[in-house]
Amino acid sequence: MENPVSETVASEDQTKSTDTLHSLLKSLQPNEKPVKPLSKLAEQVVKTFEREEHEVNERKISVNPVVAKFAAWYEKLRNAMEIRDEEVILRSSIERILKRRLLLGGNAQTTAEPLVRELIWARYLADSSVPESMVRKVEHTIDLWLQLRFKVINQRKFSVSELNKWIYHLMSSDLVHLLSSNVEKETVNNFMYQILKEDVTLEGEAEETRNAQVYLAVRRAFSKDDLAFLRFHLFTLFFGKLSAESLERIANGFMDGYSEIVKQLSYRSRERVYLYVRRRAAAFLILEDVMRVHKSGVRSFIQDEASFKDAVMAACETKYKNISQKVRTAIIRSVIFILTTKVIFAFMVEGTYERLVYGYINFLALGINTGIPPLLMIVVSFFIHTPGQENSDRIYDYIDKLLHVDNPIYGSPLFIKEGKEKRTVLSVVFAVLWILAFVISFGFVYMVLNDLQFNFVSKGIFIFFLAVVSFLSYRITLTANLYRLGEKQGLLTPIIDFFFMPVVRVGRKFTEGIAQVNFLLFVFDFVIETPFKSIFAFAEQWFRFLHDKREELG
């Protein structure tokens, strides 16, 4: 008979031998892939996303939902009449409200709370998200900028109209950062600046100029800042934050700061720096999006290479799909912008001219002038294409370098040799070809209009809006290529640029001019909006009164 104890011992020895064998085999297998350490700059970005947010336990400002619905509709209509990027609509709306209230005799105390409530009505700020103490901070900020304006005016060294533009730009930008701060986005913005500034060389210029130009280019490409925001950020870099303690110092040095800011914003090669930076912005935009989604465990998520790559690819696909919606929105807003301004030109200028000079209105020319520009805008939209998988692969490879390499470079560095350009034979040839492109592009349009028997005014209006549509179409194309890393050129790109770019550049000047003298916007902002917002305020107080009466019953 077999001994059970002996069998047990034998079984245990066999098990130990098997475990030992497994351990030996495991030790012979290659080690797990080591975790790649983050670069110093990436480490700081990750720490920002890891931080915990503490909600302020304070009573929040709430508005009536019925009033908010009508106010939001009004804002959508008003914004459709003006060509602005979504990222600057909040700032633009704050500036508009400030002008309306302050120019009508308001001050910081009477403007602060209505400003905040109007922004919540329009859904620029979420309902019950702004603490009541924010009103006092907004009031303090407005008061500081008004004091600065008063002190600079007293120096009698600055044009009042120009100063007013600057103060409204600076004040509205400051209030955006106060009411809607975005620490994560600002962190990635600075991360992008630190990465790219080393790739740009401006020969013959001080390092401060190089840094300022890269900084401005990053803010335009990544944060989509407009002129007001750019002025504000340069102002803050030059003077520091405006406060009660710094007020006197900033007022005394305002002219020096103004001159330096104007110099940097009008730097000759600024567009070349911006183009270089813009072609690399897609990777930073996707990186911010992925890190924001996984911020609670962003460090461990980045270290899981497979999951992180899948997330980057998914984010790219989502953004590509969203581009189509952005393009449609941009087209609709552009068509509304064109039609509203076109009606004024067509009927007030063209129609009046024809009736006075010829005694009748050429409705064929009027119809073509009114209908063709929006139609061209819609046709252009069919030729806009979004990036594909190859672009997503490039974005992931660059993001991987951004996170793990101290000095990552995408493509070739930018080298610009500043100074007075020598007039060579080649530069003369280019200048002649550029003038020739203008002549051919506009000359062809003029001949077609001449065959259609357009009069002088009708020709001018058609060419004006053709140029505006070309510029707006170019802006929409930039929107479609927002997430394209690098630049993709087709075989026909140089030919299209030769005939198209002169028209686009003229259209840019025209569009900026329309924005300055848009009579319809003036009517909306000061004739229609003031009574509308007064009605909204009255309605909200009435609904609150009814609510209180209902509470008393209960």
Confidence of residue 363 (pLDDT cuts 50, 70, 90): confident
Place of tokens 């990777």: 283
Measured CA to CA, the distance from residue 243 to residue 232 in angstroms comes to: 14
pLDDT, one tens digit per residue, over 435-471 is 888 888 888 888 888 888 787 777 887 888 788 778 8
pLDDT at position 15: 47
Read off the amino acid at residue 449.
L
Confidence of residue 103 (pLDDT cuts 50, 70, 90): confident
Mean pLDDT lowest among 4-8, 92-96, 530-534 = 4-8
Confidence of residue 157 (pLDDT cuts 50, 70, 90): confident
- Backbone φ and ψ for 415, nearest 5 degrees, come out as -125, 120
pLDDT at position 376: 77
Nearest to 366 by CA among 298, 454, 431, 294: 454
Measured CA to CA, the distance from residue 404 to residue 396 in angstroms comes to: 12
Nearest to 95 by CA among 159, 175, 160: 175
Measured CA to CA, the distance from residue 264 to residue 256 in angstroms comes to: 13
Confidence of residue 506 (pLDDT cuts 50, 70, 90): confident
Does residue 230 carry a pLDDT above 50? yes
Write down the domain spans for the chain.
323-517
Mean pLDDT lowest among 214-228, 310-324, 456-470, 530-544 = 530-544
- Write out the DSSP string of 474-488: HHHHHHHTTT--S--
pLDDT at position 184: 92
Token pair belonging to 485: 């890393």
Does residue 210 carry a pLDDT above 70? yes
- Backbone φ and ψ for 309, nearest 5 degrees, come out as -65, -45
Average pLDDT of the residues in 110-135: 92
CB 82, CB 511: distance < 8 Å = no
Average pLDDT of the residues in 86-112: 90
The size of the chain, in residues, is: 554
Helix (H) / strand (E) containing 200: strand 200-203
